[in-house]
Structure 1
Amino acid sequence: MDHQIILNKVVQSGLVPLFTHHDLELAKSVLDAAYDSGVRVFEYTNRHSNAFEVFKSLKIYADKYPDLMLGIGTIFEVSDAQRFHNAGADFIISPAMIGEVAEFCQSRGIFYVPGCATVTEVYQGKKMGSSLIKIFPGNVLGPAFVKAVLSVIPDIKLMATGGVEPNEDNLRTWFNAGIHCVGMGSQLFDLKSLERGDFSGLKSHIEKSLTIIQNLKK
């Protein structure tokens, strides 16, 4: 898929939900609720022993949403990048700046988002072809780091992930700092509620977060 299309969709949305679960049916219900709430970019994270099997089936299930981009996160190895790409991942995200994965993705034309915690890493990521960089861990680095990065690399787009909270005060500090989007996982998904089947509660929660973000981006 064209990188600019992916980048535009991520920035336009302002929110990338990060979700993982070993149960495929639960993951399908979460994806449905997220889509119904307005999400068009979704990251499934590679953190369970059966993550590949779940993702592969989830990607086929997501075919009913032609405007949804479903990518894979927590990728450390080229071998994992290869197999998830083969399974149809629209983009690949890492928690770190991993040169081999960046090189692989660049050689295959894959949209790659590395996780960076220093100006050096952000610069390396940009140099290796990434148009979107994940600031991680966000709660450790903080919005001031975003401002510092953009003061010296103003033409890069940044996504904050890790400890970003779905409330107006927290989100305002990030977007005021110049962030283009945020990734939210545990702050967005209450696993106990989901395992009880409260998907309408999740839909409402995501809708509120999206509304806050869209208002902050005006």
Structure 2
Amino acid sequence: MAPDTTAEGVTAFVDQVSRARIIPVLRTQSADEAVKAAGRCFDAGLTMVELTATTTDWPLALQQVRKDHPDRLVGVGTVLDEAAARRANDAGADFVVSPCPVPSVRGALKGQIPLIEGGLTVGEILAAAQHGVAKLFPAHVGGVRYLRSILAIAPNSRIVPTGGIPLADVSQWLAAGASAVGVGRDLLEVGDMVAAIRQALETPP
């Protein structure tokens, strides 16, 4: 089923991001590792994952994860050029993530699937948020106080901080107003992912 990119579809995607709360960023060495990591995340109750274009043969991983988990959202991150954007779209990505503004990526997608565009400056974040969801990257540079400052002037912006965030700090970011939080290797290294996610979400900020 093709993604709904109407205004209503964008709103629905934004809501899905907010309900996800944690978005695993699966930066693995191989496609097989990515498929297994995605399976662990979904088995633990998470509803969306972000594979990365730095993974070898990532389009194959994307297709396999989409086949194994047709009811979950599977996106591709670290998309930095037009070619990768087209490959993600052709392979069936539910969404694409760029760590910074890349006009050629937005142009290649032509609104066919949601794009979560990243940025660090206030201008970049607010510009990206106008299209639905913005990615604050690298989030550890400014920290939780920086996110609060941005939301103080643009409280309706949907922002997903990502980069250098340990699982234990997720609740702090959510309490500060993050729509969801991108978590990488720290999530994949835990033994009992279900317990670790529950603890991260229930820990008082």
TM over 0.5: yes
- Give the match's secondary structure for 2:80: coil
Taking the aligned partners of 1:40 and 1:172, their CA distance within structure 2 comes to 18
Q: Residue type matched to 2:88 in 1? A: F
* Counterpart residue number, 1:208: 195
Residue 41 of structure 2 is aligned to residue 38 of structure 1: no
Deviates more, 1:54-63 or 1:17-26: 54-63
Deviations 1:5-27 (A, max 9, x none): 33222211201101132333332
- Give the match's secondary structure for 1:21: coil
- Give the match's secondary structure for 1:139: helix
- Give the match's secondary structure for 1:114: strand
Taking the aligned partners of 1:164 and 1:209, their CA distance within structure 2 comes to 14
Taking the aligned partners of 2:72 and 2:125, their CA distance within structure 1 comes to 27
Deviations 1:113-171 (A, max 9, x none): 111111110122134x2x1111111111111111111111121111110111111xx22
Q: Residue type matched to 2:36 in 1? A: S
* Counterpart residue number, 2:181: 182
Given that 1:59 and 1:70 are in contact with CA atoms closer than 8 Å, whether structure 2 keeps it comes out as no
Q: Residue type matched to 2:81 in 1? A: E
Structure 1 residues 118 and 160: CA distance shift in structure 2, 3 A:
same
Aligned residue among 20, 29, 35 for 2:27: 20
CA RMSD of aligned residues (A): 2.1
| TM norm structure 2 | 0.86
Normalized per residue, which structure has more helix?
A: 1
Aligned residue among 101, 114, 117 for 1:114: 117
Q: Residue type matched to 2:12 in 1? A: I
Q: Residue type matched to 1:79 in 2? A: A
* Counterpart residue number, 1:148: 149
Given that 1:114 and 1:125 are in contact with CA atoms closer than 8 Å, whether structure 2 keeps it comes out as yes
Aligned residue among 61, 65, 68 for 2:69: 65
Moved beyond 4 Å, runs of 4+: none
| TM norm structure 1 | 0.81
Q: CA deviation at 1:213?
A: 5.1
Identify which of structures 1 and 2 has the higher relative contact order when contacts are C-alpha pairs closer than 8 Å and 6+ apart. 1
Residue 17 of structure 2 is aligned to residue 10 of structure 1: yes
Q: Residue type matched to 2:77 in 1? A: G
Consecutive unaligned residues of structure 1, counting only runs of 5 or more, are 194-200
Q: CA deviation at 1:45?
A: 0.9
Q: Residue type matched to 2:147 in 1? A: V
Taking the aligned partners of 1:58 and 1:104, their CA distance within structure 2 comes to 19
Number of aligned residue pairs: give it: 197
